[in-house]
Copies of this chain bind each other. A is one copy, B any other.
């Protein structure tokens, strides 16, 4: 019928909830996104959220699952059918940056979750996402070395850290400037320096 906005199916509602949280995280401190704010943005009452999620942590977990799936499938897609490891790293970098530009709330939520002392479910999910992400970079760096594209004396772990950090640096700068558009402009220039640091001769 599509006319009624109320009484959506649970699956749809859960999906909308996740997108709403990510939207809100782009605008405010993820740590103080309230269930009231989420419900309000969705045009629902606060209590309605708890028909779909048992508690707030479950909402955040759903967000983390969404982020994990989308980010990893995005970078995986960007990388497939690219033969050269360094080209793959570049494609991965750009895919990640454009994902962040589309969803600025994502890195903020990730970092926000990692800050927690106790290991909550969403925190663990953030940790595994990042570890999966790092694994992918690791593979490309090893392959790049094997093919002679990368400096043979390169420290693999450090190279992975710097890859992740270079994106962090861009995110932080866009956080400071409050401007997401600059991300796309600066990204290739930062990657060029990184590439220069890891490639052979």
The number of chain A residues with a CB under 8 A from chain B is: 46
Cβ-based interface call for A8 (8 A)? no
List chain B residues, Cβ under 8 A from A117: 27-29
On whether A161 and B155 interact (CB within 8 A), knowing A29-B31, A29-B117, A117-B29, the answer reads no
B31 near A162 with CB under 8 A, answer no
Q: Which residues of chain A from 129 to 180 have a CB within 8 Å of any chain B CB?
A: 130-131, 151, 154-155, 157-159, 161-170, 172-173, 175-176
Cβ-based interface call for A81 (8 A)? no
What CA separation (Å) do A115 and B33 show in the bound complex? Answer: 12
What CA separation (Å) do A13 and B194 show in the bound complex? Answer: 46
List chain B residues, Cβ under 8 A from A101: none
Cβ-based interface call for A186 (8 A)? yes
What CA separation (Å) do A116 and B197 show in the bound complex? Answer: 34
